[in-house]
Chain A
Amino acid sequence: MVKNFVHSYIPHTDSERREMLDVVGVNQIEDLFLEIPEKYRDPNITLPSPLTEMELLQELESLSAKNVQVGKMPSFLGGGAYSHFIPSVVASLTSRGEFLTSYTPYQPEVSQGTLQATYEFQSMMCELTGMDVANAGMYDGATAFAEAALMACRLTKRYRVYVMDSISSHYLAVLRTYLLPQSVEIVIVSDYINEIDGDAACLLVQYPNALGVIPDLASLGKLIHSVDGLFVVNVYPVALGMLKPPSEYEADIVTGECQSLGIPLSFGGPYVGMFACRNEHIRQLPGRIVGKTNESHGDRDGFVLTLQTREQHIRRENATSNICTSEALIATAVAIHLALLGPRGLRQVAQLCYNKAHYAARCISELPGYYINPHAPDKYWFNEFVVTGPKSVDVLQKNLFDQGIIGGINVTDRVKGGLLFCVTEINSKQEIDNLVIALNNMKES
Chain B
Amino acid sequence: MIPTDCYYTKEHEWVRVEDATLVVIGITDFAQDQLGDVIYVNLPENGSEINQSAQMGEAESVKAVSDLFSPVTGTVVEVNGNLQDAPELVNRDPYGDGWMLKVELSSVEQLANLLSADQYGKYLDSGEH
Contacts and interface: CB of A to CB of B under 8 A. Distances in A.
Interface of A: 283, 308-309, 314-315
Given A283-B40, A309-B39, A315 B63 contact: no
B60 interface: yes
4 closest A-B pairs by CB? A309-B60, A309-B65, A314-B65, A315-B65
A314 B61 CA distance: 11
A309 B60 CA distance: 7
B40 A314 contact: no
Identify whether the interface residues of B are mostly helix, strand, loop, or mixed: strand
Contacts of B63: 308-309, 314
Contacts of A315: 65
A309 B58 CA distance: 11
Nearest to A304: B62
Contacts, number: 15
Given A283-B40, A309-B62, A314-B64, 12 more contacts: A308-B62, A308-B63, A309-B39, A309-B40, A309-B60, A309-B61, A309-B63, A309-B64, A309-B65, A314-B63, A314-B65, A315-B65
A308 B63 CA distance: 7
Contacts of B64: 309, 314
15 contacts: A283-B40, A308-B62, A308-B63, A309-B39, A309-B40, A309-B60, A309-B61, A309-B62, A309-B63, A309-B64, A309-B65, A314-B63, A314-B64, A314-B65, A315-B65
Contacts of B40: 283, 309
Interface residues of B, number: 8
A155 to B, nearest CB: 14
Nearest to A316: B65
A314 B65 CA distance: 7
A308 B64 CA distance: 9
Contacts of B61: 309
A196 to B, nearest CB: 26
Which of A308, A309, A314 gathers most chain B CB within 10 Å? A309
B88 to A, nearest CB: 15
A111 to B, nearest CB: 17
Nearest to A309: B60
Interface string B19-63: 000000000000000000001100000000000000000001111
B96 to A, nearest CB: 25
B39 to A, nearest CB: 7
Contacts of A283: 40
Nearest to B61: A309
A315 B42 CA distance: 14
A283 B40 CA distance: 10
B55 to A, nearest CB: 12
A283 B60 CA distance: 11
A309 B65 CA distance: 7
Nearest to B62: A308
A315 B65 CA distance: 7
A315 B67 CA distance: 12
Nearest to B65: A309
A315 B62 CA distance: 12
A314 B62 CA distance: 10
A315 B39 CA distance: 15
A309 B42 CA distance: 12
